[in-house]
Amino acid sequence: RIVKRQIGCRRDINRLNGQFLSLYESLIPAEEEKAKQKQLLLLLEKHVAKEWPEARLYLYGSCANSFGFPRSDIDVCLAMEDADVDKSEVLLKLADILQSDNLQNVQALTRARVPIVKLMDPATGISCDICVNNILAVVNTKLLRDYAQIDVRLRQLAFIVKHWAKSRGVNETYHGTLSSYAYVLMCVHFLQQRRPAILPCLQGMENTYAVTVDSTECAYFDQVEKLSGFGSHNRESIGQLVWAFFNYWAYCHDYANDVISVRTGSMLSKHEKDWTRRVGNDRHLICIEDPFELSHDLGRVVDKFSIRVIREEFERAAEILQCDPDPCVMLFKPYVP
Ligand code: CTP
Ligand code: MG
């Protein structure tokens, strides 16, 4: 592999700000969608309350972390009092209850890695997946939503990166590429690393929010309204940041040794995480530490074939941003196998 390093960014990079910002605006879901999601959640809550009065429903994932595209499905977590409930049993019962209402395609997938009930609500046109007691996902959703409130450039960068990843076919965990969750964490970490920093490290600050989930302590500073000016000493534009993000992952990241860690706001070594060799199916070829489940590497889905695909896509993006006279066309050109 020939690795080229780009020393400086193209001089007219700020010419792209307008295009990136209009792309970002076009990817933000309309307010009516939020209202429809609420409506469906209320309907589900009504059914759940009858059977399990103590249970709660939470939205998680892109419908609640502020990194969602228009018309996405919603992810719902059914939180039961009893942490050890038989999830399959609950899901089968839930499917039964929901079937009797006007909901369509209700299906319990009890053998999936994360067991769920799937359904479609004809009244709102929204599809939804409901899981049981996936509380860490609810908490990491809040963490991302809180980060998004600190500096708008996080949301802008992450929407552009997600749009790129979806267009280029590198956002498919079942094909060994990365989840949207992983890409958003990469963006948070990248903005924590800018100098001056654009984002703080919330888990490194005073804890104003703390919950314990299955013996995992999740705590951080969540009074983010107090941090609204945090990134203002850094004046980098969205064009510069998109360029620097791809340049970093194409030419600067040390894939052999480094782990990115939003939890510490710094780089850790694979050595200290003991992520230096393949264990079972976890290969650790690109390492992204989950902010709460510290043994969880979000890069673990990546294998020796897909790591090449991902790195070549980072290099392609960096090259286009550096050299193409009209980069937005090629950057998001749908990948056709
Ligand atoms: N999640 C997680 N661990 C993972 C993958 C996902 O905890 N390894 C949780 C996170 O809470 C994440 C949610 O599941 O927010 C949904 O993940 P994903 O589908 O990757 O992200 P979305 O934000 O829903 O993106 P998309 O718009 O592509 O659906
Ligand atoms: Mg999702």
pLDDT digits (tens, 9 = 90+) for 241-269: 999 999 999 999 999 999 999 999 999 99
**Atom 12 in ligand 1: residue holding the nearest Cα:** 61
**Atom 2 in ligand 1: residue holding the nearest Cα:** 137
Per-residue model confidence as pLDDT tens digits over 106-118? 999 999 989 999 9
Which residues make Cβ contacts (< 8 Å) with residue 173, sequence separation at least 6?
179, 301
Topology classification of domain 13-27+149-331: Poly(a)-polymerase, middle domain (1.10.1410)
Structure tokens at 73: 């499905």
What is the pLDDT, as a whole number, of residue 8? Answer: 83
Region of poorest pLDDT, from 98-112, 134-148, 173-187:
98-112
Mutate to test the pocket of ligand 1, among 180, 214, 286, 289 (most ligand atoms within 8 A of CB): 180
At 83, the pLDDT band (50, 70, 90 cuts) reads confident
Determine the atom of ligand 1 nearest the C-alpha atom of 134: 7
What percentage of the chain reaches a pLDDT higher than 90? 93
The domain 31-136 is placed in CATH, from the list 2.10.25.10, 1.10.287.950, 3.40.1110.10, 3.30.460.10, at 3.30.460.10
User: Residues of CATH 1.10.1410.10 domain(s) within the chain?
Assistant: 13-27+149-331
What percentage of the chain reaches a pLDDT higher than 70? 98
Average pLDDT of span 14-25: 97
- pLDDT exceeds 60 at position 1: no
What is the Å distance from ligand 2's center to 128 Cα? 10
**Atom 11 in ligand 1: residue holding the nearest Cα:** 137
- pLDDT exceeds 90 at position 53: yes
What is the Å distance from ligand 2's center to 180 Cα? 7
Query: Comparing 303 with 2, which gets the higher pLDDT?
Result: 303
What is the pLDDT, as a whole number, of residue 321? Answer: 96
Determine the atom of ligand 1 nearest the C-alpha atom of 184: 23
Paired residues of 307 in beta bridges:
none
Query: In 3-state terms, what secondary structure has residue 320?
Result: helix
Secondary structure of 97-132 in the HEC alphabet? HHHCCCCEEEEEECCCCCCEEEEEECCCCEEEEEEE
- pLDDT exceeds 70 at position 3: no
- Residue 169 phi, psi (nearest 5): 70, 25
- Ligand nearest to the backbone CA of 131: 1
At 101, the pLDDT band (50, 70, 90 cuts) reads confident
Determine the atom of ligand 1 nearest the C-alpha atom of 67: 23
- Cα 14 versus chain centre, distance: 27
What is the pLDDT, as a whole number, of residue 229? Answer: 94
- Look up the ipTM and state it: 0.97
Per-residue model confidence as pLDDT tens digits over 136-156? 999 999 999 999 999 999 999
At 10, the pLDDT band (50, 70, 90 cuts) reads confident
Residues with CB under 6 A from ligand 1: 60-62, 65, 67-69, 72, 75, 136-137, 140-141, 179-181, 298
- pLDDT exceeds 60 at position 2: no
- pLDDT exceeds 90 at position 23: yes
- Ligand nearest to the backbone CA of 68: 1
What is the Å distance from ligand 2's center to 134 Cα? 14
- pLDDT exceeds 80 at position 7: no
What is the Å distance from ligand 2's center to 63 Cα? 8
Mutate to test the pocket of ligand 1, among 58, 62, 166, 173 (most ligand atoms within 8 A of CB): 62
What is the pLDDT, as a whole number, of residue 113? Answer: 87
Q: Output the DSSP codes for 127-149.
A: EEEEEES-HHHHHHHHHHHHHHH
Average pLDDT of span 207-226: 97
